[in-house]
């Protein structure tokens, strides 16, 4: 190499002259030639090799003080069986192993030579074996293997201390991530690719999980098994024998490589199965915890419900025993209504506090406490009512504004509250499927409105669409007002009408909390036909045929049906009258 170096450096003219650029082919020599051979053997680029060398030199410069551990079986080793020895243990690097740097290996070898060299031992009076039969040959062989990157990689591939086992699902039953993470981290040492992904945990996102398993299913391992070759082709007597030995070795390596990749795939497959099982168990546990929590909440609600019921009954009993704090029947009835209001509105804590005051007070003091609570509840209800009305007014203004005037009312005129309630009532009176429904609704509004504004079918449709955009609270408030007006206008009994009782259900806006079912409606219709107007105790008999309904309920329902029939007939007649005759 030195001669070649002198030759390359003794060119009579520069390689690149300023007069003309002449390209010459040169070859690396010395340590550069050695680096090229190593790169080709490892199949890496020059830049990668330089980075590795720089990294190694950096780590070597930062090595801590070398700590060697004497191999207790060193003197019993058979130099002829060097292939089965642990080279790291021989040099005292049993803990560092594949992580040991070249600097550490050199230092370890030097220390072993100083201690176990035959000349040194012979001078100390120790009997030395002849030739290569001395155990010192094992130290020399270990240094030879570990100092050569190619031979060292071959030995590292079959590291006798490496754990090739694959965790089972039973082992990972209670701690999947810890068990399988260790397995993947062990095998990550063989990866050609840097930055091997971690297994993660239950909080890992799906993209991380997909990348992890894709990486390991396409795992690129540098692990090879040339160290286990049974025959050395250098010992062959002829070329044909060398070829035969090389062929046998390649086949054995390929088989071991195939088994290795099957082992990795088994690790990945078992990991996926175990992870799915872990995720399933975690989900079941989470669902069970949620179910238990829901049961606990339900139980607490039941306890609260029973407690409130108990406190309400206690309040009613105390007030009843004191005749609702008055000897006047009318005042007692009014106070009874107010007490029921307290029972409906007060929370458990407030009811308990009020009952404690009543239990420890005289009648007059109790009355004062109840009246004070009634005032607070009424004030709160008035405030809520005012807020609800304000929301309704605001919603109506918003709907008028969004309608742009043209769809908000006839001739661009706004809808008054009375007309709005008429619209809600008409929409309930004339459900979908009514012939010329929107014209009928418009005529109904025009015939009952006191505003003098004539609405068209288009006006009614646009306004109904705007009302659909209101939130439920605003709808309920408008319905409540419409129903209050309905009750006010129809407080007197309607004339008896036995004809054309409709079979369809009718629920007025803001209807009772106990609406009539289709079966109850059918029973009522049959009873009206069975017991005509001149029947004695007619309504008592009708109520008896409708289970769960009182005489008052039946009469009220009958009045609603009468009003509906009249309204429908009048609106339909008006539509028919305005249509051109054929």
Place of tokens 């009182």: 550
Q: Which CATH fold topology does 417-469 show?
A: Arc Repressor Mutant, subunit A (1.10.10)
Please tell me the distance from the alpha carbon of residue 177 to that of residue 187, in angstroms, as a whole number: 15
Q: Which CATH fold topology does 74-157 show?
A: Helix Hairpins (1.10.287)
Q: Which range among 167-181, 312-326, 342-356, 402-416 shows the weakest confidence by mean pLDDT?
A: 402-416
Strands in 390-442 per DSSP E: none
Does the structural domain 518-578 have CATH classification 1.10.238.10? no
The mean per-residue pLDDT over the stretch 530-559 comes to 86
Phi, psi (degrees; rounded to nearest 5) at 16? -130, 100
The predicted model scores a pTM of 0.45
Q: How far apart are the first and last CA of the chain?
A: 120
pLDDT of residue 476: 64
Chain segment 15-24, per-residue pLDDT in tens:
434 445 666 6
Cα separations in angstroms, 428 against 288, 423, 434: 46, 9, 11
Cα-to-chain-centroid distance, residue 150? 50
- Is residue 95's pLDDT more than 60? yes
- Is residue 147's pLDDT more than 50? yes
Instruction: Give percent of the chain above pLDDT 70.
Output: 78
The mean per-residue pLDDT over the stretch 479-498 comes to 51
Query: If you write DSSP's letter for every residue of 288-355 in order, what string do you get?
Result: HHHHHHHHHHHHHHHHHHHHHHHHHHHHHHHHHHTGGG-SSHHHHHHHHHHHHHHHHH--HHHHHHHH
Query: In 188-238, which ranges are continuous DSSP H helix?
Result: 206-217
- Is residue 534's pLDDT more than 70? yes
Chain segment 348-403, per-residue pLDDT in tens:
999 999 999 999 989 889 889 999 999 999 999 999 988 988 887 777 677 666 55
Burial class (CB in 10 A: 0-12, 13-18, 19+), 7: exposed
- Residue 510 pLDDT class (50, 70, 90 cuts): very low
């Amino acid at each position: 190499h030195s001669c070649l170096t002198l030759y390359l450096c003794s060119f009579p003219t520069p390689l690149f002259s300023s007069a003309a650029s002449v390209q010459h082919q040169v070859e690396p020599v010395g340590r550069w030639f050695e680096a090229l051979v190593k790169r080709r053997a490892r199949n890496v680029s020059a830049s990668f090799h330089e980075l590795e060398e720089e990294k190694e030199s950096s780590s070597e410069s930062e090595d801590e003080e070398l700590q060697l551990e004497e191999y207790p079986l060193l003197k019993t080793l058979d130099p002829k069986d060097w292939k089965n020895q642990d080279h790291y243990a021989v040099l005292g690097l049993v803990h560092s192993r594949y992580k040991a740097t070249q600097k550490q290996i050199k230092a370890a070898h030097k220390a072993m030579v100083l201690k176990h060299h035959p000349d040194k031992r012979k001078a100390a009076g120790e009997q030395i074996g002849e030739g290569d039969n001395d155990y010192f040959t094992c130290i020399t062989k270990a240094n030879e293997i570990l100092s050569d990157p190619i031979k060292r990689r071959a030995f590292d591939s079959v590291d006798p201390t490496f754990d090739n086992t694959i965790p089972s699902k039973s082992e990972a039953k209670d701690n999947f991530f810890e068990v399988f993470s260790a397995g993947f981290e062990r095998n990550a040492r063989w990866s050609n690719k840097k930055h091997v992904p971690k297994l993660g945990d239950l909080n890992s996102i799906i993209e991380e999980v997909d990348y992890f398993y894709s990486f390991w299913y396409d795992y690129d391992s540098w692990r090879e098994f040339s160290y286990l070759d049974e025959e050395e082709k250098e010992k062959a007597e002829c070329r044909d024998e060398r070829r035969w030995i090389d062929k046998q070795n390649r086949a054995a390596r390929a088989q071991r490589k195939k088994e290795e990749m099957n082992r990795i795939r088994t690790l990945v497959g078992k990991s996926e199965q175990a992870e799915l099982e872990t995720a399933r168990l975690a989900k079941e546990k989470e669902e069970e915890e949620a179910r238990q929590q829901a049961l606990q909440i339900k139980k607490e609600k039941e306890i609260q419900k029973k407690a409130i019921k108990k406190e309400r009954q206690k309040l009613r009993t105390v007030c009843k025993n004191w005749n609702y704090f008055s000897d006047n029947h009318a005042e007692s009835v009014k106070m009874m209504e107010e007490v029921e209001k307290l029972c409906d509105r007060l929370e458990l804590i407030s009811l308990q506090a009020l009952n404690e005051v009543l239990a420890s007070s005289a009648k007059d003091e109790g009355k004062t406490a109840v009246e004070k609570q009634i005032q607070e509840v009424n004030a709160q209800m008035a405030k809520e009512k005012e807020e609800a009305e304000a929301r309704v007014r605001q919603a109506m203004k918003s709907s008028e504004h969004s309608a742009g005037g043209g769809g908000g009312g006839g001739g661009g005129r706004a809808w008054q509250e009375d007309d709005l309630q008429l619209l809600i009532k008409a929409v309930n009176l004339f459900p979908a499927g009514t012939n010329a429904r929107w014209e009928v609704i418009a005529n109904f509004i025009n015939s009952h409105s006191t505003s003098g504004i004539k609405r068209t079918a288009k006006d009614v449709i646009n306004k109904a669409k705007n009302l659909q955009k209101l939130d439920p609270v605003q709808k309920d408030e408008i319905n409540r007002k419409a129903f209050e007006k309905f009750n006010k206008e129809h407080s007197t009994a309607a004339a008896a009408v036995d004809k054309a009782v409709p079979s369809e259900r009718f629920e007025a806006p803001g209807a009772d909390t106990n609406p009539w079912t289709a079966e109850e409606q059918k029973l009522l219709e049959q009873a009206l036909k069975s017991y005509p107007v001149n029947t004695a105790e007619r309504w008592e008999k009708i109520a008896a045929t409708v289970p769960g309904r009182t005489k008052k309920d039946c009469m009220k329902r009958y009045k609603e049906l009468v009003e509906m029939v009249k309204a429908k007939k009048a609106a339909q007649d008006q539509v028919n009258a305005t249509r051109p005759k054929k």
